[in-house]
Chain A
């Protein structure tokens, strides 16, 4: 196939050339264009947050605090956390891939509330502006968790502006979740019953439940924090008659389930990718679907495992510990089912598949080390050490980001009508996998040896592992730049993508690449379950 220098082709009408001009993008109500607005925005915040990570790892290459001062270091890890969690990970897969794909996957023309969809992006940008403002005027130094009374009484940073930025961005997340839930309930094509839905849609439905039920709590919590800091109204600071542990309860009631907002959509991507590249129906479809909902529900009952070393009751700790172990069960169901799906499958090691396999391995390590932290005794030793940092990066980067990259590569041909260069993408997937492990595995050892998190000066005996980690971070950072370059290149010079380059099932692959403005020429009628791969299809695709 020959490369042409434009995205899509002018002869073929699609959502990209349906209308032209900046206004047509900024006022669009098309879910696919809004997804691309999100893609651009979260990519900006990802690299901004990544810049903070580069500076953190540079500082930690030596035991002395020789690159930045303590205050600056505190601001670096705080801004890294705030940007990556609230402005990249939370919106990443739902707002980009979910927005683009859910209507296509269920045979709908758009989401249920297109205007609210656009509004959610503007709200997100407004929240982002607050955060960038904070970054420019001096930053905030409390850590992304904003623990009281540091955040309300002692911090000199811009706590109120950051809190308001996250408060505002939270509404964007709520609106996205609301849109997805109503869309899945009301907009399914004829014949698309609940148990014919792709597992990606089930995962997003479960994610949306958390977004709607959990996000208002963190919004209220941050609002109370702003009231206490700004007007000295006592909620959390004992000096004003408050309870600092109450803050931790309220904060983690959202922020633990928020981890599942990040990981569940990734799990949805992995289900699709593994099914496609093994040409098999996922083993235990119903179990995978319901395990997403189970993770969403149980995820709301485990927040107290972040409070073991606060003054939380030991009895409450025991219950939270037990519940935290229970949430591992639906996660394990997924891992076992994906693995079983591959058994005797026609496995193709494409780039999305490499990322999906990376997800399974890294998420398993991240999840199992979470059990260490969920146990009451072990956690006392490991709390606030680098073990925790390594654990949640294995979940959030090894899990959520790997899933995001798998999804971006898998659906890139559908989104832009162009193929990416396979050899470059495989190479970068391997570089990212190696760089990631070199960065974060040494941090497990550092944490176990006792190195606390959030310090930029450390004893010399920790330097070996810190140097390994910083070296890994440079490999990882390089790895992330490669896809950015070749994906941008592919927009203009990539091979033209057919409607279904992977031989996948699913309604989104039945329409042209990139899809038309209306998604489908006629509303599809679904007559069979999802993932009906046959031996004939394998022969065609292979």
Chain B
């Protein structure tokens, strides 16, 4: 809160040491999920095609953010920053999609 200005930022960071096995595990999980993505694309799930593909992609992205980007071991402020970025992305996608979802509600005169 009130650090003397001449102190460097780094002095307050605590580095959590993550075992190499965790990185290998996450890496293998990403590989397996990539194979699953490729395989599931060959199976017709009807309305769930898109949802399953996006679901796997989101899970993979979460693994990268949590482990490779160390967010799982970061303080609450860092988590809030990541959360704010994701929330902004959701705003962009959701509000843009509300336009597309409601475009046809009113109908087009003469059509």
CA distance A246 to B77 in the complex (A): 33
CA distance A104 to B22 in the complex (A): 44
Binds B, one of A1-9, A164-172, A187-195: A187-195
CA distance A316 to B102 in the complex (A): 7
**A313 to B103, Cβ gap below 8 A?**
yes
13 cross-chain CB contacts under 8 A: A107-B5, A109-B5, A109-B6, A189-B4, A189-B5, A209-B84, A217-B92, A249-B92, A250-B92, A250-B96, A312-B99, A313-B99, A523-B5
**B77 to A304, Cβ gap below 8 A?**
no
**A313 to B2, Cβ gap below 8 A?**
no
CA distance A331 to B87 in the complex (A): 24
A245 within 8 A of B: yes
**B99 to A245, Cβ gap below 8 A?**
yes
**B99 to A193, Cβ gap below 8 A?**
no
Q: A189-B4, A191-B2, A313-B105 are in contact. Are A300 and B98 (CB under 8 A)?
A: no
19 new A-B contacts at CB < 8 Å, known A113-B9, A190-B4, A315-B102: A186-B9, A187-B9, A188-B2, A189-B2, A190-B2, A191-B2, A209-B84, A213-B85, A214-B88, A245-B99, A250-B92, A253-B92, A300-B88, A304-B99, A313-B98, A313-B99, A313-B103, A315-B106, A523-B6
Residue numbers in A under 8 Å from B77 (CB-CB):
185
**Residue in B closest to A190 when the chains form the complex, CB atoms:** B2
Closest 9 CB pairs of A and B: A108-B5, A316-B99, A313-B102, A315-B102, A313-B103, A249-B96, A190-B2, A213-B88, A313-B99
Q: A301-B95, A313-B105, A315-B106 are in contact. Are A103 and B5 (CB under 8 A)?
A: yes
Q: A249-B99, A313-B103, A316-B102 are in contact. Are A213 and B5 (CB under 8 A)?
A: no
Scan residues 1-38 of chain B and give those whose CB is less than 8 A from a CB of chain A: 1-6, 9, 12
> Which of B5, B88, B98 touches A316 (beta carbons < 8 Å)?
B98
A206 within 8 A of B: no
Residue numbers in B under 8 Å from A316 (CB-CB):
95, 98-99, 102
Scan residues 28-70 of chain B and give those whose CB is less than 8 A from a CB of chain A: none
**B84 to A213, Cβ gap below 8 A?**
yes
Scan residues 189-218 of chain A and give those whose CB is less than 8 A from a CB of chain B: 189-193, 209, 212-214, 217
CA distance A190 to B5 in the complex (A): 8
Instruction: Tell me the smallest distance from the CB of B1 to a CB of chain A, in Å.
Output: 7
Most chain B CB neighbours (cut-off 10 Å) among A113, A316, A520: A316
* A interface residues with partner B (beta carbon < 8 Å): 103, 106-109, 112-113, 182, 185-193, 209, 212-214, 217, 245-246, 249-250, 253, 300-301, 304, 307, 311-316, 319, 519-520, 523
**A301 to B91, Cβ gap below 8 A?**
yes
Residue numbers in A under 8 Å from B101 (CB-CB):
313
CA distance A253 to B1 in the complex (A): 33
**A315 to B5, Cβ gap below 8 A?**
no
Residue numbers in B under 8 Å from A319 (CB-CB):
98
Residue numbers in A under 8 Å from B99 (CB-CB):
245, 249, 304, 307, 312-313, 316
CA distance A112 to B10 in the complex (A): 10
CA distance A182 to B12 in the complex (A): 13
**B85 to A187, Cβ gap below 8 A?**
no
CA distance A213 to B87 in the complex (A): 10
**Residue in A closest to B91 when the chains form the complex, CB atoms:** A300
Residue numbers in A under 8 Å from B9 (CB-CB):
112-113, 182, 186-187
Residue numbers in A under 8 Å from B105 (CB-CB):
313, 315
**B102 to A187, Cβ gap below 8 A?**
no
> Which of B4, B91, B95, B106 touches A314 (beta carbons < 8 Å)?
B106
**Residue in A closest to B92 when the chains form the complex, CB atoms:** A253
Instruction: Tell me the smallest distance from the CB of A195 to a CB of chain B, in Å.
Output: 12
Residue numbers in A under 8 Å from B88 (CB-CB):
213-214, 300
CA distance A165 to B91 in the complex (A): 27
Instruction: Tell me the smallest distance from the CB of B96 to a CB of chain A, in Å.
Output: 5
**Residue in A closest to B3 when the chains form the complex, CB atoms:** A186
Residue numbers in B under 8 Å from A523 (CB-CB):
4-6
Instruction: Tell me the smallest distance from the CB of A107 to a CB of chain B, in Å.
Output: 5
**Residue in B closest to A188 when the chains form the complex, CB atoms:** B2
**Residue in B closest to A246 when the chains form the complex, CB atoms:** B96
Residue numbers in B under 8 Å from A109 (CB-CB):
5-6
Instruction: Tell me the smallest distance from the CB of A152 to a CB of chain B, in Å.
Output: 19
Most chain B CB neighbours (cut-off 10 Å) among A246, A315, A319: A315
Residue numbers in B under 8 Å from A519 (CB-CB):
5
**Residue in B closest to A320 when the chains form the complex, CB atoms:** B95
Residue numbers in B under 8 Å from A313 (CB-CB):
98-103, 105-106
Residue numbers in B under 8 Å from A213 (CB-CB):
84-85, 88
**Residue in B closest to A317 when the chains form the complex, CB atoms:** B99
Residue numbers in A under 8 Å from B4 (CB-CB):
189-190, 523
Instruction: Tell me the smallest distance from the CB of B83 to a CB of chain A, in Å.
Output: 12
CA distance A313 to B105 in the complex (A): 8
Instruction: Tell me the smallest distance from the CB of A86 to a CB of chain B, in Å.
Output: 20
**Residue in B closest to A249 when the chains form the complex, CB atoms:** B96
Residue numbers in B under 8 Å from A192 (CB-CB):
2
Instruction: Tell me the smallest distance from the CB of A293 to a CB of chain B, in Å.
Output: 12
**Residue in B closest to A319 when the chains form the complex, CB atoms:** B98
Residue numbers in A under 8 Å from B6 (CB-CB):
109, 523
Residue numbers in B under 8 Å from A249 (CB-CB):
92, 96, 99
Instruction: Tell me the smallest distance from the CB of B2 to a CB of chain A, in Å.
Output: 5
Residue numbers in B under 8 Å from A107 (CB-CB):
5
Most chain B CB neighbours (cut-off 10 Å) among A109, A186, A217: A186
Residue numbers in B under 8 Å from A520 (CB-CB):
5
> Which of A186, A191, A193 touches B12 (beta carbons < 8 Å)?
A186
**B84 to A187, Cβ gap below 8 A?**
no
> Which of B5, B84, B100, B103 touches A106 (beta carbons < 8 Å)?
B5
**Residue in B closest to A187 when the chains form the complex, CB atoms:** B5
Most chain B CB neighbours (cut-off 10 Å) among A249, A300, A301, A307: A249
Q: A112-B9, A314-B106, A316-B102 are in contact. Are A187 and B3 (CB under 8 A)?
A: yes
